[in-house]
């Protein structure tokens, strides 16, 4: 049966406190800042566990590594190519698209990933 360990609790706490998706290193930094002795293997394993449980979502934003965030309500991302800020964006038209894909192609969509890259409001002009 699953156990509530300090590392798990602290990672959950961190994920709850952040707005942008975080990478493994940020998690490790947070644990260190809380004076928890830690280890990347453990962090990878906890995050993988959260991922398998559906607690977190895994994202790739073109960096060659994964980022994670709490799997609250589904949304997409607006990633600024200048300042790197990641905004959330919610929309329902994709659900329509998924239905269409099934009708037209017989492909049953389980989930999707949608990221928009561009220039945020502050970085324009």
Partner DNA sequence: TGACAAATGCAACTAAGTTGCATATACTCA
Partner DNA sequence: TGAGTATATGCAACTTAGTTGCATTTGTCA
Closest distance of CB 32 from its own copies, Å: 25
Contact criterion met (CB below 8 Å) for 21 and 40: no
User: In a 3-state reduction of DSSP, which class is residue 81?
Assistant: coil
**Residue 35 gets which letter from DSSP?**
T
Contact with its own copies (CB under 8 A) among 16, 72, 103, 111? 111
Tell me which of its own copies, DNA, none is bound by residue 3, counting a contact when its beta carbon lies within the kind-specific cut-off of 5 to 8 angstroms.
DNA
Helix 24-33 / helix 6-17 crossing angle, nearest 10 deg: 110
Binding mask 72-101 for its own copies (x = CB under 8 A): ------x-xx-----x-x-x-x--xxx-xx
Helix 6-17 / helix 40-53 crossing angle, nearest 10 deg: 70
Counting contacts by CB under 8 A, is residue 116 touching its own copies?
A: yes
Euclidean distance between CA atoms 106 and 58, whole angstroms = 26
Counting contacts by CB under 8 A, is residue 52 touching its own copies?
A: no
Contact with DNA (CB under 7 A) among 13, 33, 39, 75? 39
- Interface ranges with DNA (CB under 7 A): 1-8, 23-25, 37-42, 44-46, 48-49, 64-66
């Amino acid at each position: 049966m699953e156990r509530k360990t300090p590392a798990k609790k602290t990672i959950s706490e961190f994920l709850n406190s952040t707005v942008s998706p975080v990478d493994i290193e940020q998690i490790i930094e947070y644990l260190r800042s809380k004076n928890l002795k830690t280890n990347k293997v453990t962090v990878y394993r906890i995050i993988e566990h959260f991922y398998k449980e559906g607690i977190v979502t895994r994202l790739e934003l073109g960096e060659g590594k994964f980022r994670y965030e709490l799997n609250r309500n589904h949304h997409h991302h607006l990633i600024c190519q200048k300042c790197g800020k990641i905004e959330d964006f919610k929309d329902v038209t994709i659900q329509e698209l998924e239905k269409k894909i099934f009708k037209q192609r017989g492909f049953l969509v389980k989930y999707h990933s949608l990221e928009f890259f561009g220039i945020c409001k502050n970085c324009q002009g």
